[in-house]
A = this chain, B = another copy of it.
Amino acid sequence: MAVNQAETGDGRRLTRRGQETRQRIVAAAAELMFENGVAETTLEDIRAAAGVSGSQVYHYFEDKQALVRAVIDYQADAVLDAQGDHLDHLDTVPGLRAWRDFIVEHQRRLGCRGGCPIGALGAEVAETDAAARVAAARALRRWEGRIRDGLQTMHARGDLPAGTDPEKLALATLAALQGGLLMAQLERDTRPLEAALDAMLDRIQSLAATATPLVRGHPAR
């Protein structure tokens, strides 16, 4: 509740217009920081891109760090949104493969630039701004939660062996994705991303092949 109650940081409530302006600033900052990194993005760039002027940025944000934190929260929503329905269908191997294809295709369209909006941003500020690091970690946990939901459904359904730990597998899958995105960004090539996701999905598929079905057939006991 009140998660998206837009405020200026000191708890003041904003009018509708103010919320829109604030949102425009965050969106502009998110895009610029994604393209050029935090350090290379000046508040003046953001001000111009958002179409607001002068002290506006400081009206809504304590300082640049506060804006960075807002951008991380914004990207957390944006990244999950962008994956749309795919995240609701990670409970079958074909669903997982479709998700993989979507991500790879998305990176290809971007020319492998920017990496992960959350991971890359988080890494840049991790050792400088503890609050931003925590915000990025929280964003990744939300993402991981969606993957975990799918794998846990498979597990509960008996599509994964009883001994498997869906939570650990979800964590590994997101890590593979993050590493694949990072390497794709550095090499400007989707191959590392494809290799990483394929290896994880092959692993999941081979686990699924050895599972004793619970739904049809008799439960393993």
| Interface residues of A, Cβ cutoff 8 Å to B | 35-40, 113-115, 119-120, 122-128, 133, 136-137, 140-141, 168-169, 171-183, 185-188, 191-193, 195-196, 198-200, 202-203, 206
Contacts and interface: CB of A to CB of B under 8 A. Distances in A.
List the number of copies, as a whole number: 2
Contacts of A169: 195, 199
B195 A168 contact: yes
A166 to B, nearest CB: 11
A186 B122 CA distance: 7
A140 B186 contact: yes
A64 B39 CA distance: 15
A196 B183 contact: no
A163 to B, nearest CB: 11
B176 A192 contact: no
A218 B181 CA distance: 41
Contact of A124 (B123, B181, B196): B123
A206 B115 CA distance: 31
B178 A199 contact: no
Contacts of A195: 168-169, 171-172, 175
Nearest to A169: B199
Interface centre among A174, A178, A203 (most CB of B within 10 A): A178
Contacts of A198: 168, 172
Given A115-B126, A123-B124, A171-B196, 13 more contacts: A36-B127, A37-B124, A37-B127, A114-B127, A137-B183, A137-B188, A168-B195, A169-B199, A171-B191, A176-B179, A176-B196, A176-B199, A178-B182
